[in-house]
Copies of this chain bind each other. A is one copy, B any other.
């Protein structure tokens, strides 16, 4: 058997500690699968005293020196965030180390720089754990579907917001109440901004779109709306039309009126029919639909977060990277040859559900319908609920450019007959999926 491959671990929190445990417990299996044993060279942490469950002699606060060590073969990063991680990983790659990372934020913001560094050094950069935790998703997109043409990726990629929306759906709770429950159960962090406002999902969408469409996509290319404004009334409105609300990441290959192929990437809460497979994904689970021309519809489902599931994905990458080092080869690098432009959200075609509190008087529907017609938005269904002061007009549109839908809603909100737009939300997942 070959000499040990040395691994530097950056970060030892929820995920890192599971990696340390599994590296120890499964050492023989991992060695057999790789053809060489793995050996932890060191673990970089902020406060060594907190980590009493790992060998003290491995701990260091000096991540830069650990990364620079000549005897380190692979750097595994589970710290998260942009800096100082970007510098550490560039230094690792620059000195010929392969890198396994779970850092969605960094990869979505500046993945190109890391890929360039990996290519220049002829080493691997793997990051399966950055999206959808334990669910094998990036490797299938990058490798299994490499002979196909992916047209759409749509999924639930944030467990925290899925937990919150699932609770709102099942209990009728409002957003604040469901968030409080998620926090109490440890599903939401003390500062839930990254999840609730959609930054986490947007980063993952950027990574998925890049792999699916062979194009560099960054988080700034992603249209992002959080779930903070989803109300109990929205959820009730969804229920009334046989839908539920899910926070979706959607990556599409689209061809515009100008014949140019583009990538449209967005994340927002949307209504989907209860019959859609994603509607049944409860709790903090993740699930992702992939549509490809030849393969048809595929779905991947599993735990999107948590220490052990994320560690499983990291170790899968670590085995692949280590095998490559043993055999002196390198896995498939970044594939961005298609280099498609990104479509503006306003040009992206979606459909809207609009519930309007209206005066109960003749001509209300005619006035509303005129506002839609004015913006060339066609109405799919309309129904009126209640009478008098509580009258509500519920409309679902056909697909139209988002800008036209947005302008229609603004126009409607300004009509004298409309007291307020009670619920405005996009509808996804209709066409027989």
Q: Please determine whether A330 and B332 come into contact, CB atoms closer than 8 angstroms.
A: no
Determine the distance from Cα of A277 to Cα of B297 in the docked complex, in whole angstroms. Answer: 17
- Given B136, B294, B312, which contacts A308 in the complex, CB threshold below 8 Å? B294
- CB pair B312–A147 under 8 Å, yes or no, is yes
Cβ of A30 within 8 Å of any chain B Cβ, yes or no, is: yes
Q: For residue A300, which residues in chain B have a CB less than 8 angstroms away from its CB?
A: 298-301
Asked if A113 is at the interface (CB within 8 A of a chain B CB), the reply is no
Known contacts being A295-B134, A298-B135, is A314 close to B147, with CB within 8 Å?
yes
Binary contact readout A279-322 vs B (1 if CB under 8 angstroms, 0 otherwise)? 01000000000001111111111110010110111111111100
How many chain A residues touch B (CB < 8 A): the figure is 58
**Copies per complex of this chain:** 2
Q: How far is the CA of A22 from the CA of B147 in the complex (A)?
A: 8
Note all chain B residues with C-beta closer than 8 A to A299.
Answer: 299-302
Give the Cβ gap from A65 to chain B, nearest Cβ, in Å.
27
CB of A148 closer than 8 Å to a CB of B:
yes
Q: Which 3 pairs, one residue from A and one from B, show the smallest C-beta to C-beta distance?
A: A147-B315, A329-B329, A136-B144
Q: List 25 A-B contacts (CB under 8 A).
A: A26-B149, A32-B335, A33-B214, A134-B298, A136-B136, A136-B140, A139-B140, A139-B144, A140-B144, A143-B320, A146-B319, A147-B314, A147-B318, A148-B316, A294-B309, A294-B311, A294-B312, A296-B308, A296-B309, A297-B302, A297-B303, A298-B300, A299-B300, A300-B300, A320-B332
Q: A145-B312, A327-B329 are in contact. List 8 more A-B contacts (CB 8 A).
A: A22-B148, A134-B298, A136-B145, A146-B316, A147-B315, A148-B312, A296-B303, A299-B302
